[in-house]
Chains A and B, each alone.
Chain A
Amino acid sequence: MTNSKSLALGALALVMSSTALWAQTELTVYTAVEAEDLERYAATFNEDHPDIKINWVRDSTGVITAKLLAEKNNPQADVIWGLAATSLLVLKTEDMLEPYAPAGLDALDPKFRDSDNPPSWVGMDAWVAAICYNTVEGEKLGLTAPTSWADLTKPEYAGHVVMPNPASSGTGFLDVSSWLQMMGEEGGWAYMDALHNNIAAYTHSGSKPCKMAAAGETVMGVSFAFRGAKEKANGAPVEIIIPEEGIGWDMEATAIVAGTAKEEAAKTLVDWSITPKAMEMYNVGYAVVGIPGMAKPVEHFPANIPEKMIDNDFEWAANNRSAILEEWSKRYDSKSEPKG
């Protein structure tokens, strides 16, 4: 064997061993976090854990939940990071989540964790319902901005309100379940009957009503505050209104998928997902995060959000979801023909 040959072989061996040392664990992470945040989340996580590579599967809440359920017998995901707690509750009742108590659990607000021990999921941040109101279009029509949910049923708003369809959007369901919790079953349905008269369209996505308000396609959209703040930052003439009765909310949460082959890496990610550093990262876009007292005010977000958040009974909402949706479609879906 010539010298150069053995040298090359040695170099090859060295390269191979070093790649083995740096071998990355790849985690398949299902998420509904906004697309523009994904890169930042992964990069911040990799600052502390460069050896774990995140492969995102991102879609809207409904699609990701449907995907997870469809894959129930053969899960493809290792971790769910950033999916509505309401959806995680559905997965929990199907026994699809691996209970795990991450390091630093005690620092979390008790609202931001599964009440079981060890918890099946831990919360990251909260997203809250809000009304996006287009001031320019409102002025053109001589309307004044609403301040409460009750205002939305005012006759002069007829045809100017858009809200998400609860049967296809998580935000829509959050609104409906919060109205039912705040106003009681009867009051809630009576309110929605009145609101239905003013609704121009039920959209299939929760952020669309706010984007429609921002683009002037409608005057006000029932959506969530995060989307309104983004639109405002983009230069849209929208106001974010927090109705005075209180607002429904849901949280983005993290969980390990039962049966994952990469348990160690999955636990590392869940541990990290509730560190103060992660909370700071969530705080860039969300005004309420899982560790109390950490959140700094976020630009364009109304300051009174935390005190307006209702005492949301997630278990009630999850256990009554199909009954509520059935009632909702019975009342409002069949009336969907355009008014001639």
Chain B
Amino acid sequence: MADATVLPEGRNVRLRIDSDGWIKRAFMGVIALYLVVALALPLYAMLSKSFVTYSFDLTRYEFQVSDESGAVWGDPVTAAELNDRLGEFAPDDLRSSSDGRLSVTDLFPDFSFRSPVMYRIRGTTDNAPYLVGLDLQNSTDWRELDSNTFRRVNLRPVADTGLQNYQEYFSNPALFSSIENSLYIASISTVLTVLFAFGFAYAINRSCMPLKGAFRLIAMMPILVPSLLPGIALIYMFGNQGFLKPLLFGQSIYGPLGIVIGSVFFTFPHALIIISTALSISDQRQYEAAESLRASKWRTFWTVTIPGARYGLISAAFVTFTLVITDFGLPKVIGGQYNVLAIDIYKQVIGQQNFEMGAVVSVVLLIPAIVAFVIDRQVQKKQVSLLSARSVPYEPKPNRRFDMAMLAWCTIMGIFIAGIIAVCQFAALINYWPYDLSFSLRNYDFNKMDGGGWGAYWNSLELAALTAVIGTAIIFVGAYMVEKIDGFKTGRAAFQFLAMLPMAIPGMVLGLAYIFFFNNPANPLNAIYGTMAILVVSTVTHFYTVGHLTALTALKQIDAEFEPVATSLRQPFWRLFARVTVPVCLPAILDISIYMFVNAMTTVSAVVFLYSTHTALASVAVLNMDDAGDIAPAAAMGMMIFYTNATARVLHAFASRSILRRTQAWRVR
């Protein structure tokens, strides 16, 4: 019999979780809870907002009309019955937005505001809002009005849920064309940025050109300024009064051209870091093999170099694409009439207070970002290590012509980047461009301008410092728990997913989601709305992913044996964490904190919806000053951010060096 051969099912073997394990799980739970509250719930609130629709419900209102004497009343009749009889409003006409109005006199063909006929209106349910003039009424009691007042009666829409907002969005050609524009801009900028950055990275890693260090520094400069600063510089260079305007041959800088140039500027360092890392890892032996097979330089490039760097190139492309499509500062400053998704959100929310439509555009904006993100993750999974223990690092050989060409290319990019920064500084010091070119510090008198004045600058410093300290602590501890916990697979996978999610969330979407979620009186966390705390939470969350990945990379370098050894020596995990893990990972921790600091100084998109009276920020001030037309002061404030970040970077470099010397001696053999 077959049954006899089957062994009885064994006991499920499970590792007993020690107290350390429980503490670690608790820690991870707390940080996961943070991510749920700061990310998942607000996004859910926003998603549900996009399904809130407004329409006029005619069954909720009842009318009575008198005769000419004003004393004898006809039978009550609902608005719906009147409409059925007249066919005045098609169902489509009854769809509306939160600010909609429907004039009731359209339901009375004989209506004349001069007639002595009297009208009565009432709601048939509790929620039947209507306006008399501008007074909101909502009652089931009859209200009697003369005809002259009755013509000032407007019905208000009531909220419901449904897909109506999405239908409306996709049937509105103006809004729909923004999708096309956004994709167009993002694709072109991505191709250009990746090409340029590849050339630059190639020069730095594969040539023997001089001044590599200086070029590296210059290439990193755009990361230190808000994304709208290049827009301001481009206006000074190529605007109608720009000193380089003839170079455009009559093209206007306002529009796609300006957005693309500015996007290349601010995404360049992001792409460069990724591509440069990919190019720096290569095996000399492959090139030697190609050479001995007599492959031409050109062929070697296409069969060895490009395949080796392809994952880096794909990653860089997606990062650039996401950055451009979600950026909002640049199109606002230099986009002219060119509508993109990020601007639509701003127009819907700020211009028309149509939060529901703003939420819909946010959801639409999420799609390309998430698609790009998912593809990138898939590609990353396929990445295999190119370096094995036997690899020989690639050593570039001097080649005068090639090195000079590379130097020329880097010089062009260097002039482009440094030039834009220099133009901003120059603009900030001019009294009144272009009519009074005298030198002046007038533009630094921020207290006389929009945007919060010098206070905004100090607030930004506070935000950046808090974000750097708190954010780094949360991110590193979270990464440690995920990496060094045993078992608990599902929990770890869920946490990992939450930690990767912020990368795909545009800042504006996050900011809008925070309004919906935190400014709800039913929310116990409502108290942080309008404080510095919500700015810190949103910034930490917005930039969580890159910090998390950095921490994971550093933690993976630590041998997994440390934990078992510590356990067998009966040392609690926190002692190991404090004595070994943190000191070993200090370089990564410093990197995370400077990343958080710099981004907190420059970010606009998430915080633009969240700052308040005491928490105006420098980066938002740049936006607001430009918005009001104070371009030179905006440039001045942008440069303050640049110098602050540059200083922070220098301090970071010094700190890293001295800390490395003290704690990383073990790395030196």
Contacts and interface: CB of A to CB of B under 8 A. Distances in A.
Contacts of A205: 627-629
B436 A235 contact: yes
Nearest to A68: B353
B252 interface: yes
Contacts of B515: 70
Contacts of B526: 74
Contact of A218 (B97, B240, B519): B240
A65 interface: yes
B337 A338 contact: yes
A94 B129 CA distance: 10
A8 B353 CA distance: 57
Nearest to B156: A93
Interface in B115-144: 131, 133-136
A56 interface: yes
Interface string A213-257: 011111000000001000000111100000000000000000000
B602 interface: no
A318 B239 CA distance: 37
A56 B612 CA distance: 9
A89 B134 contact: yes
Contacts of A76: 529-530, 612
Interface centre among B131, B134, B255, B338 (most CB of A within 10 A): B134
B352 A322 contact: yes
Contacts of B613: 28, 55-58
B213 interface: no
A71 B134 contact: no
B241 A90 contact: no
A330 B174 contact: yes
A66 B345 CA distance: 12
B101 A66 contact: no
A80 to B, nearest CB: 13
B435 interface: yes
Contacts of B239: 217
Interface in B343-366: 346-347, 349-353, 355
A320 B99 contact: no
A235 B134 contact: no
Contacts of B131: 93, 319
Contacts of B181: 337
Given A57-B613, A92-B134, A204-B332, A74 B629 contact: no
A69 interface: yes
B547 interface: no
Contacts of B380: none
A95 interface: yes
A167 interface: yes
Interface string A142-164: 00000000000000000000000
Contact of A315 (B152, B173, B624, B631): B152
A95 B347 CA distance: 24
Nearest to A213: B629
A319 B101 contact: yes
A218 B336 CA distance: 13
A299 B578 CA distance: 68
A126 interface: no
Interface residues of A, number: 69
A56 B451 CA distance: 12
B241 A211 contact: no
Contacts of B202: none
B607 interface: no
Interface in B314-355: 332, 336-339, 346-347, 349-353, 355
B351 A216 contact: no
A123 to B, nearest CB: 15
Contact of A201 (B100, B254, B448, B614): B254
Contacts of A167: 347, 351-352
B99 A90 contact: yes
B432 interface: yes
A333 B352 contact: no
A338 B336 contact: yes
Contacts of B346: 168, 204
Interface residues of B, number: 67
B462 interface: no
Contact of A93 (B97, B134, B435): B134
A236 B624 contact: no
Interface string A271-289: 0000000000000000000
B235 interface: yes
Contact of B97 (A28, A55, A322): A322
Contact of A208 (B339, B353, B629): B629
A333 B339 contact: yes
B402 to A, nearest CB: 39
Contacts of A25: none
A2 interface: no
A300 to B, nearest CB: 16
A205 B451 CA distance: 14
Nearest to B242: A217
A264 interface: no
B433 A215 contact: yes
A278 B335 CA distance: 40
B295 to A, nearest CB: 44
B174 A334 contact: yes
Interface string B437-458: 0000000000111110100000
B520 A74 contact: yes
A212 B629 CA distance: 7
A116 B135 contact: yes
B293 to A, nearest CB: 49
A208 B627 contact: yes
B150 to A, nearest CB: 14
A337 B352 contact: no
B530 A215 contact: no
B567 interface: no
Nearest to B530: A76
Contacts of A338: 252, 255-256, 336-338
A61 to B, nearest CB: 10
A204 B353 CA distance: 14
A25 to B, nearest CB: 16
Contacts of B353: 62, 65-66, 69, 90
A217 B627 contact: no
Interface string B98-118: 011101000000000000000
B434 interface: yes
A210 B630 CA distance: 11
Interface in A318-340: 318-323, 325, 329-330, 333-334, 336-338
Contacts of B154: 319
B186 to A, nearest CB: 16
B336 A217 contact: no
Given A66-B353, A315-B133, A57 B435 contact: no
Interface in B528-564: 529-530
Contacts of B453: 35
Interface string B653-669: 00000000000000000
22 contacts: A28-B613, A34-B450, A35-B448, A35-B451, A57-B612, A59-B624, A66-B350, A69-B353, A76-B530, A93-B135, A210-B629, A215-B241, A216-B435, A218-B240, A227-B629, A235-B435, A315-B134, A319-B131, A333-B174, A337-B177, A338-B252, A338-B256
Closest 4 CB pairs of A and B: A211-B629, A168-B351, A336-B337, A333-B174
Interface of B: 96-97, 99-101, 103, 131, 133-136, 152, 154, 156, 172-174, 177, 181, 235, 239-241, 252, 254-256, 332, 336-339, 346-347, 349-353, 355, 432-436, 447-451, 453, 515, 519-521, 526, 529-530, 612-614, 624, 627-631
Given A168-B346, A168-B350, 12 more contacts: A63-B350, A71-B519, A93-B134, A116-B135, A204-B347, A204-B351, A205-B629, A211-B631, A217-B241, A235-B432, A320-B101, A329-B174
